[in-house]
Amino acid sequence: MSTTTPQDPAAPGQPIVAIVMGSSSDLSVMEGAVEILDQFAVAHEVRVVSAHRTPDAMLAFGHQAADRGIKVIIAGAGGAAHLPGMLAAVTPLPVVGVPVALSNLDGLDSLLSIVQMPRGVPVATVAVNGARNAALLAVRILAVNDAALSTAMVGYQQDLARQAEAQNEQLHAPPGGPED
């Protein structure tokens, strides 16, 4: 039985998000999630656990994650991408799936394998190679019970808005600036 509840404060530095992937070949995509969690100072762990190559280790990881204090699992996989769904089957934690594009089908295989979960076992699926959004979704989930994280997310959204506004101003800048 889990001794961890969503209200428990995590010990400093204790990972509360697990970023897992089926192979180290997914890392170049999944690094986007690492960067976002670093940016928000969310403690996390990164591991390779394969649904197909190390099924017993994958199931053990999924069974133990909540009791170890993990609050959200981000799982990336490509091809017949069973990892996110299999983890969601053995943990009560929210699982965010990242379809990783392989060379043959441009990630459509990964996307459909992850998004088409049967009734009762949800995986929150982001876009193909959308690891950054997976981490942003994890931050939003955690921010429900963390006011500082919620404030940081609002700041991130304000930055995005400022960038779009700057793009718009650039687009409509009159010709004849200093370089002309």
Q: Which is nearer to ligand RP5, 86 or 142 (CB)?
A: 86
129 token code pair:
């190679």
User: Residue 100: in which H helix or E strand, if any?
Assistant: strand 95-100
78 binding ligand RP5? (CB under 6 A): yes
Binding positions for ligand RP5, 26-45, rule CB under 6 A: 26
Rounded distance, CA 88 to CA 123, Å?
7
Among 17, 58, 87, 100, binds ligand RP5 (CB under 6 A): 100
131 binding ligand RP5? (CB under 6 A): no
Which region among 8-16, 76-84, 143-151, 160-168 touches ligand RP5 (by CB under 6 A)?
A: 76-84
37 token code pair:
């969690």
4 binding ligand RP5? (CB under 6 A): no
Please give the angle made by the CA atoms of 152, 153 and 159, to the nearest 5 degrees: 90
| Residue 153 φ/ψ, nearest 5 degrees | -65, -40
Q: Where are the alpha helices (DSSP H) in 15-130?
A: 27-39, 55-64, 83-90, 108-115
26 token code pair:
């997914």
Among 19, 33, 34, 77, binds ligand RP5 (CB under 6 A): 77
How many residues bind ligand RP5, per CB under 6 A?
Answer: 12
Among 15, 22, 62, 84, binds ligand RP5 (CB under 6 A): 22
50 binding ligand RP5? (CB under 6 A): yes
Q: Which residues neighbour 151 within 8 Å (Cβ) at sequence distance 6 or greater? A: none
Which region among 64-72, 73-81, 113-121, 168-176 touches ligand RP5 (by CB under 6 A)?
A: 73-81
First to last CA, the chain: 70
Q: Which is nearer to ligand RP5, 124 or 143 (CB)?
A: 124
Binding positions for ligand RP5, 133-152, rule CB under 6 A: none
